[in-house]
Structure 1
Amino acid sequence: MALFSVFTIIRAISLFHITLAYFFLTAPRMIADQNMVYVLGEALRLPHVTSLDKPNDASAFIAVLLAFLGIADLTGASLNEQIAVDYWLSNVPVRLTFLFGLSGYIYLFKDDGVFGSKSLLRRASAGDNVRNSLVFAWAFVETATWFWIFTSLREEKREQMRRMQERLQAEQDRL
C-alpha cells in the first residue's frame, strides 16, 4: 500500500501547475529566484534566467499553458478509477519521454556539456533560450514526480488485475 494515492499525487502536481501559473502571471521573478532553481543551475553551470524581473507577454503565456495543464490534469484525475488508470498509463510515458529528453538535452548540450560548444565564438542557436536553470529545474522536478506517478500507476494496475482475477476465481468456484 502506497503512502499517497496515485491520484493524490496527480492532483498535487496539478495544483502545483496552477500555483506556478499564478506566480508566472503576477511575480515571475519569485519563481526564478527559488533556491532549488539556483542550486541546480549552479551545480550544472547553467545560465540563470534574467528576463523574468517583471511580468511580460512570455510569462503570461507560460501561465496560461500551466493553468491549462493543471486544469486538464485535475479533470483526468477525477475520472472513474479503472478508466483513469488506463488513461494515465497511456499519458504518463509520453510525458516522461518528453521531460527526460528535455532534461537530457539541457544537460548534454549546455555550453560545457558533452555535445555543447566549447568555444566562445559560436553562433546562437534556437535551443539557447531553453538551456537555463529554470527550465532544467522544472523539467527535473516534473520528471521525478511523473516517474513516481508512473510506478504508482503500475502498482495500481497490478492490484486491479489481482482483484479482477480473484473475482473471476470466486465466480468460477460458485458455479
Structure 2
Amino acid sequence: MNIDLRGAMRTFATGVCVMTTYLDEATGRRHDGLTVNSLTSVSLDPPMVSVCLRHDSAFLADLLKTKVWALSILDVGAADIASEFAKSRDVRAAVLRTVSATPGKRTGALVLDSPGWLECRLQTHLPAGDHVIAIGDVVATGTQKRRPPLVFLNGAYQAIT
C-alpha cells in the first residue's frame, strides 16, 4: 500500500505563521525565525498551543534551551516573508534584521507586525516521527485589523477571497 501523506495533506488549507525564538550567547542575543503551518490550539483553559518542528532543526535546539517563542500569524501581504523564513538560518537572520518586529513583553521573542500574535512558554515537548511536538502555555496575545490571512494550500501560499 502506497501512503502519500504529503500529497493528501497538500489539499488541507493551513494558516501560515512565523515562529521566533532566541538564544543568549556571549556576543548577545541571537534571534531566529521560522515559517510554520502546524499551529494548533490545544486548550482554551488554560490557553495552550502546539507546533511541530523537525527533530534535527537548529531552531528547535534553541527553543528547547530558551523555552519561549512567539508566533506571528501572517496576512496575504506576507507571502514573501513566509518564503524567506522557510530558508536557511543565515537567510532568516538577514530577514529578521529588515522586518518590522519588536520583542514580546512576556518572552522577549520577536513579534512581527501581523494580524495576530501569541507569546508562549514551553510546557512540554514530545517526539513524533521525524518531528517534535512543542506544547506551550500562551502567556500573551494580540490582534489588529489587517488584510485576509495567508494560507498554504496545494504547495503554495494562497489568499482567502
Q: What TM-score comes out, normalization by structure 2 length?
A: 0.23
- Higher percent of residues as strand: 2
- Higher percent of residues as helix: 1
Larger Rg: 1
Q: What TM-score comes out, normalization by structure 1 length?
A: 0.21
